[in-house]
Amino acid sequence: MLQLSAITKTMFIPFLVAGDPHPDITVELALALQEAGADLLELGVPYSDPLADGPIIQRASARALQQRMTLPKAVELVAVMRKKGMKIPIIIFTYYNPVLQLGEESFFALAKKNGVDGVLIPDLPFEESEPIRRLSAETGLPLISLVAPTSKQRIEKIASCAQGFLYCVSSLGVTGIRDTLPAEIDQFLAEVKRYSRVPVAVGFGISTSEQVSMLKNYCDGVVIGSALVQKVEELADRLLQEETKQEALNEFRRYAQMLVAPLGK
Amino acid sequence: MYNVPNENGRFGEFGGKFVPETLMLPLEEIERALEQALADESFRAEYVYILKEYSGRPTALTFAANMTKQLNGARLYLKREDLNHTGAHKINNAIGQALLAKRMGKKKLIAETGAGQHGVAAATVAARFGMECIVFMGEEDIKRQELNVFRMKLLGAEVVPVYSGNRTLKDATNEAIRYWVQHCDDHFYMIGSVVGPHPYPKMVREFQRIIGDEAKEQFIKREGKLPDVVVACVGGGSNAIGMFYPFLEDDVELVGVEAAGKGVNTPYHAATITKGTKGVIHGSMTYLLQDEYGQIIEPYSISAGLDYPGVGPEHAYLASIGRVRYESVTDEEALEAFQQLAREEGIIPAIESAHALAKAFQIAKQRSKDETVLICLSGRGDKDVQAMMNHLKGESDVAIVRHY
């Protein structure tokens, strides 16, 4: 069971797309992030129609699908990561349809077997999540809930059932890199924290150390996805070649460290 | 008593709201506004009035005398949605949703389009109601439907090319939804078919049922009884739901026709109910074309309007309870019916509607002369003339020349 309640410092929660640019590289990128001070990894499963994602993660998903990445393979990648030394909790981030096709029960069983610590399904709102929440309770794998700036009166209901941590969507829109975050984000986060019994993390659009520095005062964790995935895209060719791989991994790690420097990692 | 969807937007096991949390509140707002509007006599009156004085409703019911004679079977009737303003049934829904947007105080419309018919309808109502309109269209479809792109621009809409995926309707819908997530505070998403999360499938049905309501009344007046068979084409399925809905509790055979493309046993088709499996697409549980890992497969059809990997959840439900029979028609059969109707009746149908015609002709041939078949002629073929010319030239110049 994901136990994050004892945290004292703001968490760094990076996101990677499994299989981008290659499954073996994803494992090494994950280890680099752990070294950079990540507290928890969100491992994204590529999907043909990622409705909640902007262009950067869409492109990464397309690259990963070309590597024939699937939901079962992504889950099995977690066991590989564990063998190679990943200690931090790993959450599987997947759209609902791949879970449905694998079978909801099979998915939870496979996740449990491979050492997954939690599940996040961005297109499964509270009202549709009852069967998944039941499986989550049975297997002890928390289903991470999301709240958005439009959630308003829904926040209390969602927060009261939240497990693991509560994911706050920073602003209207899809994942991506944003220059500015909404001015009222501190009020939004304060309201969510009032109802939540689990740590509150914020994501969507966070891509600079300045943003991280500002947000750390209002939340328990920052999720960084598109900025890191864009870096992977930039480094893809070098990551895929044996002679330049280590150097590219180092560059990736330094970039992650720079982004979260305000968290004191 | 047929009474779906339920309060959760479910048609049996189908439908629902599988969307990011950000959209839950906007969907609840639309649902509330829709229920109030549907219960409001003045809303209904305005909708009917605009359809009459702006779109020319009621559309005609035409007896296809020459085709009936030629097939020597059941009598064929055409519900003439092609006679609507902008050339297809799409305007019924666009007017309804624009009125709802106005009621909700939203002045900016978002739409997705494949062939451009819904995009043109959305751009048209935006002009009529003094609203802004942004239309998402796959780059591939933009190339194939240059004229409709120009039409939308002429009407004052902004057309945004979509470069993701195969650059067709599915991708345009993804992008429209992404844009909506970002702008849901002041934009209204005007979806073009009975697809998407609740309450869209219900809302679009309510704005399209006028097809069946009118047709039923016209048919009884003309024939003194109900039709034996009603046939409509199904992509997302809005003209079909509109046509079928008022007949669901009658003793009438209902047939939905999907696009079989190059054949349902090839990878090149859009026969979602015939060949698809249950899953989630664009916020709704329905049948869709997907691989074993749940990745959505690109469909294929000669008809851009049927070229969609999902289908409205109510069709999935009607198929599952056996109330509607879903069959399919190939490109080739549709092309044949396209030309037949033009030659025999002087009506050039949309290539989508030609799928319904092809199936209806097959059915009519096997039935007695006492029986009747009612076909939803969902749109006119002006938009297809260029493509059909190229297609038929490529295949057999002779075939066209032979018939003058």
Which of A96, A124, A172 lies nearest to residue B182, judging by beta carbons?
A: A172
* B41-98 residue pLDDT tens: 999 999 999 999 999 999 999 999 999 999 999 999 999 999 999 999 999 999 999 9
pTM reported for the whole predicted model: 0.96
Given a contact cutoff of 8 angstroms between Cβ atoms, the answer to whether B289 and B272 are in contact is yes
In chain A, residues with a C-beta closer than 8 Å to the C-beta of B167 are none
* A168-203 residue pLDDT tens: 999 999 999 999 999 999 999 999 999 999 999 999
Taken in order of first residue, the domains within chain B and their CATH numbers are 18-52+89-200 (3.40.50.1100), 58-87+209-393 (3.40.50.1100)
Percent of chain B topping pLDDT 70: 98
- For A110-115, the CB contacts below 8 A with 24+ separation are A110/A72, A110/A75, A110/A76, A111/A75, A111/A78, A111/A139, A111/A141, A112/A139, A112/A140, A112/A141, A113/A79, A114/A75, A114/A76, A114/A78, A114/A79, A115/A78, A115/A79, A115/A82, A115/A90
- State yes or no: pLDDT of B403 exceeds 80: no
* A56-71 residue pLDDT tens: 999 999 999 999 999 9
The CATH superfamily label for domain A11-263 reads Aldolase class I (3.20.20.70)
pLDDT at residue B398, as a whole number: 41
Given a contact cutoff of 8 angstroms between Cβ atoms, the answer to whether B148 and B387 are in contact is no
Q: Which of A53, A220, A237, A247 is catalytic?
A: A53
Q: pLDDT tens, position by position, for chain A (265 residues)?
A: 576 656 678 999 999 999 999 999 999 999 999 999 999 999 999 999 999 999 999 999 999 999 999 999 999 999 999 999 999 999 999 999 999 999 999 999 999 999 999 999 999 999 999 999 999 999 999 999 999 999 999 999 999 999 999 999 999 999 999 999 999 999 999 999 999 999 999 999 999 999 999 999 999 999 999 999 999 999 999 999 999 999 999 999 999 999 999 999 8
Are B293 and A70 an interchain contact pair (Cβ–Cβ within 8 Å)? Answer: yes
* A135-158 residue pLDDT tens: 999 999 999 999 999 999 999 999
Query: Residue A150 corresponds to which tokens in the numbers above?
Result: 């439009």
Provide mean pLDDT across the span B175-193.
Answer: 97
- Residues of B with a Cβ under 8 Å from any A Cβ are 8, 16-26, 164-165, 170, 174, 177-178, 181-185, 277-283, 290, 292-296
Coil, helix or strand for A156? helix
Q: What is the ipTM of this complex?
A: 0.96
Coil, helix or strand for B30? helix
* B253-263 residue pLDDT tens: 999 999 999 99
* B225-270 residue pLDDT tens: 999 999 999 999 999 999 999 999 999 999 999 999 999 999 999 9
Number of Cβ within a 10 Å radius of residue B188: 25
Distance CA B338, CA B357 (A): 8
Spatial CB neighbours of B171, under 8 Å, sequence gap ≥ 6: B138, B162, B164, B165
Are B294 and A100 an interchain contact pair (Cβ–Cβ within 8 Å)? Answer: yes
CB pairs under 8 A between A and B: 114
Percent of chain A topping pLDDT 70: 98
* Residue of chain A whose Cα is closest to the Cα of B163: A55
